[in-house]
Structures are given as structure tokens and as C-alpha cells.
Amino acid sequence: MKRVVIRGGRVIDPAGNLDGLYNIYVMGGRVARILPAESDAGGVDAGSPDVELIDASGLLVTPGLVDIHTHLREPGFEYKETIKTGTGAAAAGGFTTILCMANTMPVNDNQSVTRYIIKKAQAEGAVKVRPVGAVSCGLKGERLAEIAELKEAGCVAVSDDGFPVANPNLMRRALEYTRGVGIPLITHAEDPVITGSGVMNEGSVSTMLGLRGIPAAGEASMVARDIMLAELAGGRLHIAHVSTMGAVECIRRAKEKGLSVTAEVTPHHLKFTDESLSGYNTDFKMNPPLRTQKDVDALKEALKDGTIDCIATDHAPHSVIEKDVEFVSAANGVIGLETAFSALYPLVEEGSLTLPELVGLMTLNPSRAMNLDSGTLAVGAPADITIIDLEKTWVVEPGEIKSRSKNTPFAGLEMKSRVVRTIVDGDTVYKG
């Protein structure tokens, strides 16, 4: 049986309340033992031919990162991303489990598509892929997809991501039905009518650029509606990519009331504001759009106080065909898997979060929100482990990106901290 020993790293495992220098022993793809580095005599396994020794001294060792919001584009849009390239990007970003959204072609609204994705991921995927099924057939918001069968086939959540479930009655029924099935519902909360043909946050920057704005109130009002419907219907509501202070306030009130609501925020919404659009660079165009500094500050505060549960990238690959065009016509979305941790580490350096908090937001918390068994280094858990060099600096070069698409807003930025190794079930799937 293959054994791996990761020695001397600073191990942070929020699930086990671990933060210190430990040696991790992996056997048969699972965590076998974790011993304090100081008192661990070690060496017992050294020299044995089937033991892989990994020296992690000076490095951070965490449970494999978990991203509950990605778009892998396969089937249907393989020119943007495939399960192979997308999971390769995930591995390079330290993610060992990722959820992929249903807006493929065909839409993942039935078992055959779910099974295709899972099979493809098992054959070609570098990391674990857990599909998210559609709430409604074809993401059209008209009638429910066969959600119980989607779950049976392997979907861990349902979402019409990309679109809100605009019809409140369908949303109510979806929440009721998913309560019975026992699967979370991820909402893309946006009032489509008030968004209209908006292409960026509505505010002084949109006024200056002459671009149609998307008012922040359109997110908050839909979050408020969804929370009220969740209160009525029950069900596990998860709010995707929160971008506004108004939405944060709605979620905070819901949590104070004890409602079963969780929420995520993306690295780019924590890093950039609408000011980044002043050059009409379509690599900063996404939905929800980049907001104002006031919103960014509210999002950081919400991460700190637990109003927002976790971080998710909303990795959304688009090719130059969709991005190298007029701003108004350009597709929404940016990639984010390979830059996520590095983009967020400044939050620790500036004191907004502690390092264990950041690790929790990318491992245990997203796993809990989606009822996954990942995000922990508990003995017996799958040995999904990420090793990060917090001191390493690097510049994001689009040419070096593993994702098939290069639409990153981080292009050219200098980053501090980088994932240096990603381990899935005891096997190294990425080494930087």
C-alpha cells in the first residue's frame, strides 16, 4: 500500500482545530496519522521504497481547497474549457474538489448529462468533480428538472446559475422540493428586469463610461425574496457570488433569524471595484458586476463575521471569440481557479482575516455549505491536501495559465503566495 509522508509543514486544518508544525502520514489515499513534528521521531518509513517523502518545511499545508462554483463548459463548449483543462487549472490552484455548474450544452438537467460529466471527470479529471444539476429544465425557469434523479446520478446541489429563478412560484416549489430530496439550492440572485441590458455596476463609473448600469438593489431585492421564500418553503438556500452591501445585510438578518441560508463570495469581488472597468477591459466584465469600495468593505466584514460562509471562484472560462469584442457584446465571466488563494492571501496580510480563517473559508466552510465530506484532514478522510508557499511571489502571465481560456482580471498582477503542490487521494496531481 502506497504511503506518503508530508513532513514539517505548518498544518492548518480548521475542521480539526489544528494549527502547528505536524507530519501527515497518508496510507492508501487516506489520512492515517497526524503527529506533531517536534515529538515525532519520524524516519520510521524513510528509505522504504513505497514511501513518498514530501518536505513541507517552511510551507503551509491545508486540506485540499474546495470550490463550489465553477464552470467546466463540457459538454458543449469545449473550446472554452474541458473537464480535463478545467480540473488541471483547479489542481494548479490547489483545489481538490470542485463543483461544476449546469449551464453546459446540453444543460445538466437530466441524469445522462450528469453521468457523462462524472464519467469524463473520472477518466480525465485531475481533481474531484461534483456536478451541480439544473433547477429547471434547460435553465428556462419554467418547470422543475428531475431533481431527485439528478441527485441519484451524482449531483450535489441544483442551480440555474447564470440565471435567477425569476418566477417566485417556481422558486418556492423548487425550495420545497429540494427540501424533500435533501439537496441544496444555489441561487444566482439577480432581478433580471431591473438589470435589463446593464453591463456593469450602476454608479458614477458607469456614468463616466457611458455604459448601462446594473443597480446594486437588483441583487439585494432578489436575495431578500429568495430568503423569504426559503423561510416559507424550507430547503437549503445557498446564495452564489454575493457582490453588494445590500445583499450582505439581507443575509445577516436571515442568519440572525436562524434561517438555513449560506452564501459565497468570489475573490474578484473582494479584490476589484468598478473602477477597474475604466479601460473597457472585458476581462473585468462579469455578472454580478464589480461593485464599489463600500461593497468590497462590506463583503470583507461579512467574511469575518460569518455572514458569508465561504469563497468560491465562479471560474467562468470564455474564449477570445466572446471576450475580444465590443464591451457591450462581451460575455460575462472571468476565470479564477489558478489565482484564488494568491488573490485572497493579501486579506490575511492586511489583517482582514487570519490565516486559519482563510483556510476555513476555502475548505471546511464550502464543504459544509454543500454537505460534502471534503475539506478536512481528519484521520480516515481522503488525503486531499494542498501545500502552499506563502513567501513565493509570482506574476500572473496569461500565457502560463492552465485553463483553456485566459480571461483573467489578474493578468500582469504580482501575487504573493503560491500553491506548490496539490494532492488528491494521496497522489500528487500538481507540482509547481
Chain positions contacting other proteins, by CB under 8 A: 202-213, 279-280, 321, 324-329
The least CB distance from residue 333 to other proteins, in Å, is 18
| Pairwise CA distance, residues 106 & 128, whole Å | 21
Toward other proteins, which CB reaches closer, 200 or 237? 200
293-320 CB burial, b ≥16 within 10 A, e <16: eebbebbbebbeeebbbbbbbbbbbbbe
Minimum distance of other proteins from residue 332's CB (angstroms): 15
The Cα 81–Cα 60 span in angstroms is: 30
Closest approach, Cβ 413 to other proteins, in A, equals: 20
Residue with cell 494548479: 92
Per annotation, catalytic residue among 283, 314, 384, 389: 314
17 contact partners, CB below 8 Å, separation of at least 6: none
Measured between alpha carbons, how far is 422 from 91 in angstroms, rounded to an integer?
Answer: 6
Measured from the CB atom, the residue of 137 and 209 that comes closer to other proteins is 209
**What is the smallest separation between the CB atom of 321 and other proteins, expressed in angstroms?**
8
What residues form DSSP beta bridges with 27?
Answer: 3, 30
Contact 400, 388 (CB under 8 A): no
CB of 212 to other proteins, least distance (A): 8
* C-alpha span between 345 and 390 (Å, rounded): 8
Q: Considering the complex, state which of residue 79 and residue 394 has its C-beta at the smaller distance from other proteins.
A: 79
Pairing of strands 261-265, 310-311: parallel
Closest CB to other proteins among residues 100, 214: 214
> Residue 273 or 374: which CB sits closer to other proteins?
273
- Among 364, 363, 421, 360, CA closest to 392: 421
The vertex-340 CA angle with 339 and 341, nearest 5°, equals 105
Q: Is 314 a catalytic residue?
A: yes
Which C-beta is closer to other proteins: that of 185 or that of 331?
A: 331
In a 13 Å sphere around the CA of 30, the CA atoms on its Cβ side amount to 7
Closest CB to other proteins among 208 and 395? 208
DSSP letters for 81-149: --HHHHHHHHHHTTEEEEEE-S-SSS-S-SHHHHHHHHHHHHHH-SSEEEEEE-SBGGG-SSSB--HHH
Q: What is the DSSP letter of 272?
A: -
Give bridge partners of residue 129 from the DSSP assignment.
Answer: 98
Least distance CB 199 / other proteins (angstroms): 9
The three-state secondary structure class of 66 is strand
Closer to other proteins by Cβ: residue 329 or 393: 329
Are the C-beta atoms of residues 159 and 187 closer than 8 Å to each other?
A: yes
CB of 365 to other proteins, least distance (A): 35
Which residues form the catalytic set? 314
